[in-house]
């Protein structure tokens, strides 16, 4: 009977040790996960804040300020890319002497951030005017080819970027897509 009690006590001690080891591992993993999150995800911002606390440069030189205003590759990855459709399609009438009477083009913009969408909406009348003039200046024959459409797309991107740069001081339009291109 004494041996049976001794075995129960040893089994009880080993199960307590097992529980303690498991709890210690869980705490260690949670601490490691938290430290990993802090250093890898939040570490960049904490590092900059830490530099100011350590007596680093509080005044930034003009070059440093310009570098910070330009987003880095890492910040580009963090900026949300969104699509924005240009409401109504752009419809351009061509002269009666051409084989094509009109063209109707619907566009979508790939932009960085919601602020760019707001800028597009605010400046839509100017953008639509410029794009209608641009499309009307294109030759009907060039719009029938893939190369002509790609050239028009590049010109539209440059034109929209120019308008936003002029009106807001920056342009985060990354690409233009034709969502509808009808020639009749």
CATH assignment of 79-183?
A: 3.30.479.30
Q: Could you report the per-residue pLDDT of 63-118, keeping only the tens digit for each?
A: 444 444 555 555 555 678 999 998 899 999 888 888 888 999 999 999 999 999 99
Q: Could you report the per-residue pLDDT of 111-157, keeping only the tens digit for each?
A: 999 999 999 999 999 999 999 999 988 888 889 999 999 999 999 99
Token output for 173: 């339009």
- CA distances 82 to 5, 75, 86, 110, Å, are 70, 15, 13, 6
* pTM of the predicted model as reported, rounded to 2 decimal places: 0.56
Q: How far apart are CA 8 and CA 14, in angstroms?
A: 10
Q: What is the CA radius of gyration of the chain?
A: 31
Q: Which residues of 73-105 are buried (b: 16+ CB within 10 A; e: fewer)?
A: eeeeeeeeeeebebeeebebebeeeeeeeebeb
| Domain limits, the chain | 2-70, 79-183
């Amino acid at each position: 009977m004494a041996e049976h009690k001794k075995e129960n006590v040893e089994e009880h001690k080993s199960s307590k040790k097992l529980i303690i080891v498991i709890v210690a591992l869980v705490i260690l993993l949670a601490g490691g996960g938290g430290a990993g999150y802090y250093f890898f995800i939040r570490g960049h911002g904490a590092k900059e804040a830490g530099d100011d606390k350590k007596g680093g440069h509080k005044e930034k030189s003009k070059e440093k300020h310009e570098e910070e205003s330009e987003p880095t590759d890492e910040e580009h990855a963090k900026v949300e890319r969104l699509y924005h459709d240009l409401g109504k399609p752009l419809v351009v009438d061509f002269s009666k002497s051409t084989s094509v009477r009109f063209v109707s083009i619907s566009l979508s913009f790939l932009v960085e951030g919601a602020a760019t969408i707001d800028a597009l909406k605010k400046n839509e009348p100017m953008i639509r005017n410029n794009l209608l003039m641009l499309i009307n200046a294109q030759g009907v024959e060039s719009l029938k080819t893939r190369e002509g459409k790609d050239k028009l797309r590049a010109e539209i991107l440059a034109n929209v970027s120019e308008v936003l740069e002029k009106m807001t001081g920056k342009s985060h339009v990354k690409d233009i897509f034709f969502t509808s291109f009808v020639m009749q």
